[in-house]
Amino acid sequence: MKVIKTIKEMKEWSSSVRQAGKTIAFVPTMGFFHEGHLSLMREGRRRGDLLIVSLFVNPTQFSPNEDFKNYPRDFERDRKMTEEVGVDILFAPEVIEMYPPDHQTSVRVEKVTQNLCGKSRPIHFQGVTTVVMMLFEIVMPHVAIFGEKDYQQLVTVQQMVRDLHMGVEVVGMPTVREADGLAMSSRNTYLLPEERKAARSLHQSLQRAKELLQKGERNADRIIHEVREILQSESLVRIDYAQICDANTLQDVDRIERDVVVALAAFLGKTRLIDNLIYRIF
């Protein structure tokens, strides 16, 4: 595996690969890898002749009061994990490389970013789409793999790709969970033992939503009421949102008559976790 730090070298490598008729699979990450990341890499390994993983903690998707400086980082650990999975290139640029002092351009996707996390993190998705657009331009992938845990991010990137007629297939992969159901996340390392135990309620509440949906419940408010009851049974859980949205538009629904996502965000201490259940009618 080769580590590339500069945009110039990354673009030259990708150009030569494409000219040789090879397909590039790409997994964009912020590092501190866990099994969820590795599952995306394995899918990328399956889908492309060559696999590129980016490792870049993107400052523009963090608000001033969020955890950019404290976000977990361990480059050597991540490098070894990508090597073991069979990654061809680890693209790990510095912030100054991606955002030089005269950087002025951003990319904004409108409607699908306004609900859910977009309400409490108003600059987040503009930062995401800007950096993903830049990474797509630099890496030149044929296919990019994202996790469904960050479902609003996945939908937003897919919308951007459609709107801008970009030649990248964006693939979503199922959430990978711990043995007790907690969705794997780099931020889980922030949790104190008692918070980690209480965090199980996120998955438990989604399982209850799934049970109700499978039994034929179609009233969104009734399902959300039971979801919130489970979350509120844990005193350490502070709900940011619990909503049921159309799986494509991310607009709230009253009755469930098409594919939906049951989406949660909650604080445990200072740590904000998200999770979701994608429920398909057909």
Which residues, other chains included, contact 46 with Cβ-Cβ below 8 Å and sequence gap of 6+?
A: none
Instruction: Output the CATH code of domain 186-277.
Output: 3.30.1300.10
Domain-by-domain residue ranges, the chain? 2-173, 186-277
137-171 pLDDT tens trace: 999 999 999 999 999 999 999 999 999 999 999 99
Model pLDDT, residue 275:
98
Rounded to whole angstroms, the Cα distance separating 135 from 251 reads 28
- Active site positions, annotated: 37
Tokens linked to 6:
């500069």
Rg (C-alpha) for the chain, rounded Å, is 19
41-100 pLDDT tens trace: 999 999 999 999 999 999 999 998 899 999 999 999 999 999 999 999 999 999 999 999
Q: Which CATH superfamily is domain 2-173 in?
A: HUPs (3.40.50.620)
Model pLDDT, residue 39:
98
For residue 189, report the phi and psi dihedrals to the nearest 5 degrees.
-65, -20
95-114 pLDDT tens trace: 999 999 999 999 999 999 99
- Answer whether 116's CB lies under 8 Å from 245's CB: yes
Model pLDDT, residue 65:
86
Mean pLDDT, to the nearest integer, of 32-48?
98
**Mean pLDDT, all residues of the chain:** 97
227-242 pLDDT tens trace: 999 999 999 999 999 9
Residue pointed to by tokens 């998707």: 61
The pLDDT-based confidence of 24 (bands split at 50, 70, 90) is very high
Model pLDDT, residue 170:
98
The pLDDT-based confidence of 282 (bands split at 50, 70, 90) is confident
Tokens linked to 3:
């580590």
Residue pointed to by tokens 């945009």: 7
Which residues, other chains included, contact 101 with Cβ-Cβ below 8 Å and sequence gap of 6+?
A: none
SS (H, E, C) the chain: CEEECCHHHHHHHHHHHHHCCCCEEEEEECCCCCHHHHHHHHHHHHHCCEEEEEECCCHHHCCCCCCCCCCCCCHHHHHHHHHHHCCCEEECCCHHHHCCCCCCCCCCCCHHHCCCHHHHCCCHHHHHHHHHHHHHHHHCCCEEEEEHHHHHHHHHHHHHHHHCCCCCEEEEECCCECCCCCECCHHHHHCCHHHHHHCHHHHHHHHHHHHHHHCCCCEHHHHHHHHHHHHHCCCCEEEEEEEEEECCCCCECCECCCCEEEEEEEEECCEEEEEEEEECCC
Instruction: Confirm whether pTM is higher than 0.85.
Output: yes
> Percentage of the chain with pLDDT > 70?
100
> Percentage of the chain with pLDDT > 90?
99
Give how far Cα 97 sits from Cα of 2, 14, 31, 212, 275, Å.
18, 18, 17, 49, 32
Model pLDDT, residue 11:
98
165-224 pLDDT tens trace: 999 999 999 999 999 999 999 999 999 999 999 999 999 999 999 999 999 999 999 999
How many CB atoms lie under 10 A from the CB of residue 123? 16
